[in-house]
């Protein structure tokens, strides 16, 4: 595995994104909705940098992919806070094709929030299939499969403190 972003670089990028979020909302109370499971590490680091009135909820978005066809996305929002008439910020790990975030935002908008914005740690270059851009992006990355800082491969590696590129030989080893 090759390190793409060190622990220090991740911290600096998340801190910069926190500054931008604070500037956008000021003292307005914010409801953060973290998308499980990939956002957990970002969520923990980000909320501690947001010195403002804040509520934190989560929802789970999972998609099951087979081959090259995009899987059906399931959103489980049982654990989410009430978002009606609230300013909502959705936090996710990575903006890849973009379908997950678009569907999560559409689902949240059905619940009559005052506003919905989105923040992601990573945006993968050249992968987007949707006409939508996250409001806050900490890092642009090349089109490679990354793990660590919450991101997984087959539910592994979320606990790496840095962001690493999974190389083809890592994928082969994992299959054994
Ligand atoms: P999207 O719907 O294609 O934008 O996919 C977003 C989800 O796919 C993310 O929340 C991740 O769970 C997963 N994903 C996309 N790219 C990567 C990657 O490089 N590493 C790990 N997970 C990824
Ligand atoms: Mg995810």
User: Residue 64: what pLDDT?
Assistant: 65
Query: Is 87 within the bounds of a domain?
Result: yes
Q: Is 146 in the pocket of ligand 1 (CB under 6 A)?
A: yes
Q: What pLDDT sits at residue 175?
A: 57
Within-domain flag for 158: no
Question: For ligand 1, atom 19, which residue shows the shortest CA distance?
Answer: 145
Report the number of distinct structural domains present in the chain. Answer: 1
Q: Which residues of the chain have pLDDT under 50?
A: 67-68, 176
Tell me the CA distances in angstroms from 58 to 11, 82, 133, 158, one per residue in order.
22, 11, 21, 17
CATH of the domain at 79: 3.40.50.2020
pTM: 0.93
pLDDT digits (tens, 9 = 90+) for 91-116: 999 999 999 999 999 999 999 999 99
Residue 78 is predicted with a pLDDT of: 80
C-alpha 152/C-alpha 72 separation (Å) is 19
Expressed in angstroms and rounded, the spacing between residue 91 Cα and the centre of ligand 1 is: 13
| Assigned domain for 162 exists | no
Catalytic, out of 45, 96, 131, 143: 96
What is the span of the domain harbouring residue 52?
A: 8-140
165 in a domain, yes or no? no
C-alpha 100/C-alpha 104 separation (Å) is: 6
Residue 175 lies in a domain: no
């Amino acid at each position: 595995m090759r390190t793409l972003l060190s622990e220090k670089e991740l911290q600096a990028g998340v801190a910069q994104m926190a500054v931008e979020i604070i500037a956008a909302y000021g003292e307005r109370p914010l409801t953060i909705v973290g998308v499980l499971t990939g956002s957990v590490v970002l969520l923990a680091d980000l909320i501690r940098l947001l010195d403002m009135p804040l509520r934190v909820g989560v929802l789970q978005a999972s998609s099951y992919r087979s081959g090259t066809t995009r899987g059906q996305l399931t959103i489980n929002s049982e654990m989410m806070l009430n978002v009606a008439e609230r300013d909502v910020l959705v936090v996710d790990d990575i903006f890849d094709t973009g379908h997950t975030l678009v569907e999560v935002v559409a689902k949240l908008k059905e619940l009559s929030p005052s506003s919905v914005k989105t923040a992601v740690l990573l945006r993968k270059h050249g992968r987007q299939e949707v006409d939508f851009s996250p409001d806050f992006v900490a890092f642009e990355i090349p089109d490679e499969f990354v793990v660590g800082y919450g991101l997984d491969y087959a539910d592994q590696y979320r606990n790496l403190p840095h962001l690493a590129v999974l190389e083809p030989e890592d994928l082969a080893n994992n299959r054994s």
